[in-house]
Amino acid sequence: MEINDKLAVLEAILFACGEPVEIYRLSQASGIDTATLPSMIKLLNDRYDEQKSALKIMRLESSFQMCTRAEYALCIKKALDTKKSVPLSNAGMEALTIIAYNQPVSKGFVENVRGVDSSSVINNLVEKGLVEEAGRLDVPGKPIVYKTTPVFLRSFGLSSLADLPPLPDKSDTPSFFDLSAEEETEDI
Which neighbouring-strand residues pair with 131? Answer: 148
> What per-residue confidence (pLDDT) applies to 185?
47
Tens digit of each residue's pLDDT, the chain (188 residues): 788 899 999 999 999 998 999 999 999 999 999 999 999 999 999 999 999 999 999 999 899 999 999 899 888 877 776 445 668 889 999 999 999 999 999 999 999 999 999 889 999 999 888 999 999 988 888 899 999 999 898 888 888 898 898 888 766 655 555 555 554 444 44
Residues 97, 61 share a domain:
no
Q: Are residue 59 and residue 107 in the same domain, yes or no?
A: no
Q: What CATH number is attached to the domain comprising 69?
A: 1.10.10.10
Claim: this prediction has a pTM higher than 0.75: no
Q: Which of 73, 103, 118 is the last residue of a domain?
A: 73
Cis amide linkage into residue 104, ω under 30° from 0: yes
- 96 and 158 share a domain? yes
Strand partners, 106: 145
Q: How far apart are CA 59 and CA 154, in angstroms?
A: 9
In a domain, 184, yes or no: no
Does residue 187 belong to any structural domain of this protein? Answer: no
Q: Which range marks the domain in which residue 49 is found? A: 3-73
Residues 65 and 106 in one domain: no
